[in-house]
Structure 1
Amino acid sequence: MSDITRLTEKITADAEKKYQLVLNDAQVEIEKQERLKRSQLEEQLSDRLAQFEKEKRAEMYLQISDIHIQSRNKVLAAKQSVLEELFSEALERLNQMEAADFQAFVTKGVQEAQVFGEVELVLGEKSAHLLTEGSLKEIQQTIPECRLTVAKQVLPRKGGFLLRRGDIELNFTFDALLDASKEELSHTLLQLIFEQ
């Protein structure tokens, strides 16, 4: 019986050893799987955090860009408003020109236009009162190659004048002259007003 007991004890001890080995192997495998899973989860978390940070950074840059564009638009609107005000004031001043200055303006315009023959002078409504018969004669003396006649109709709500010879019209209205030089003047005025 002692042999049977020893045999039983040996079988039990072997089973216990085998059980411990299997248990240890299982424990090692479980720990290995846990480390692998933890590593995968940490990597996923890191990737997600990086992606989230990238998205938030892109969103932030878009917001900053939007704010920059809005502020730039406000500055441009302010500049445009100032320019419009300056051109409006310039037009108003031109429309308030003195008779002698208007006569000089017409004389210079006719001379620069280099017109000859019969030429009709169409005055703007706001300037018509500035040119008298006497001043027209003085202008005529400076350009003997041209015969100026004042048109009966006037240009409504305009200052300045037109020179008309047949189908050809040369526009010397204040609006047209300001519009023609607006781009160049705008650039110069902006530099003077907003030195950046």
Structure 2
Amino acid sequence: MTGLDKILKHIEEDAVSAADQILAEAKQKADEIMADARAEGEKMCAEITERSKLDVQSSLSRAESAANLQEKKLILKAKQEIIGEVIINAKASLLSLPDKEYFDVIIKMIQKHALAGAGYILFSDTDYKRLPQQFDELMKIGLSGKAGASLTLAGETVNINGGFILVYGDVEINCSFDALFAAAKENLQDKVSEILFD
């Protein structure tokens, strides 16, 4: 083997050795990069999983709150409907009382709402036609406890559904059942609610 061949062989061996070393270092670097990437991927996966759990819990919590709110709204609506029906039925039962009992209630209402002074009272056409014969006398007896109070039965009727209207000059007191129930609605709703739901 000549000197040149030896030199070439030596260069080739050095080149192969250097190439093997470069390849080994590159493989080691690639393994490290892969391990880092794998670790980073697992970390990101864990973070995404945790965020997903939190998002799911948050969504479930919001959905549960919304469902609870909807349930409360439905219960409140049902209670209001029931209370409304009870009030409507109470008004209907007043209107359907037998004449004597009905006008006993009317006399009590007159005693409560009449003012001291002279006035007149208006009824619906239906009530006017069924007034007891001695109604004027019953009204006088009912008002005897109120000093200066006197009422005259008007010859005309008004468009109301039960109850009456008192008129004192320019002052009208609406004692129709619709007006009285409307004025007392909130209080009636509270009382009916207590009876039905407490």
The interval holding the TM-score normalised by the smaller chain is 0.7 to 0.9
Other-structure match for 1:82: 82
2:168 to 140, 165, 177: 165
Other-structure match for 2:134: 134
State the TM-score, normalized to the length of structure 1: 0.80
Other-structure match for 1:150: 153
Shift of 1:184: 1.7
Contact 1:102–1:130 (Cα < 8 Å) also in 2: no
Is 1:26 aligned to residue 26 of structure 2? yes
C-alpha distance in 1 between matches for 2:15 and 2:73: 85
Deviations 1:23-63 (A, max 9, x none): 22111211121122223333333343344444444443443
2:194 counterpart letter in structure 1: Q
Contact 2:125–2:157 (Cα < 8 Å) also in 1: yes
Alignment of 1:50-65 (within 5 A): 50-65=50-65
Which moved further from structure 2: 41-50 or 113-122? 41-50
Shift of 1:74: 2.7
Shift of 1:13: 4.0
Which moved further from structure 2: 172-181 or 47-56? 47-56
Is 1:181 aligned to residue 184 of structure 2? yes
C-alpha distance in 1 between matches for 2:177 and 2:150: 23
C-alpha distance in 1 between matches for 2:111 and 2:194: 33
Contact 2:160–2:176 (Cα < 8 Å) also in 1: no
Other-structure match for 1:193: 196
Shift of 1:163: 0.9
Shift of 1:171: 1.9
> Judging changes above 3 Å, is the alpha-carbon distance between structure 1 residues 116 and 187 closer, same or farther for their aligned structure 2 residues?
closer
C-alpha distance in 1 between matches for 2:7 and 2:31: 35
C-alpha distance in 1 between matches for 2:35 and 2:11: 35
C-alpha distance in 1 between matches for 2:51 and 2:125: 69
1:180 counterpart letter in structure 2: A
Deviations 1:108-166 (A, max 9, x none): 33333351332110113443345334122132144352231112232325101111101
C-alpha distance in 2 between matches for 1:173 and 1:157: 6
> Unaligned 5+ residue runs, structure 2?
none
C-alpha distance in 1 between matches for 2:150 and 2:160: 26
Between the two proteins, the alignment pairs up a number of residues equal to: 195
RMSD over aligned Cα atoms? 2.8
> Unaligned 5+ residue runs, structure 1?
none
2:158 counterpart letter in structure 1: L
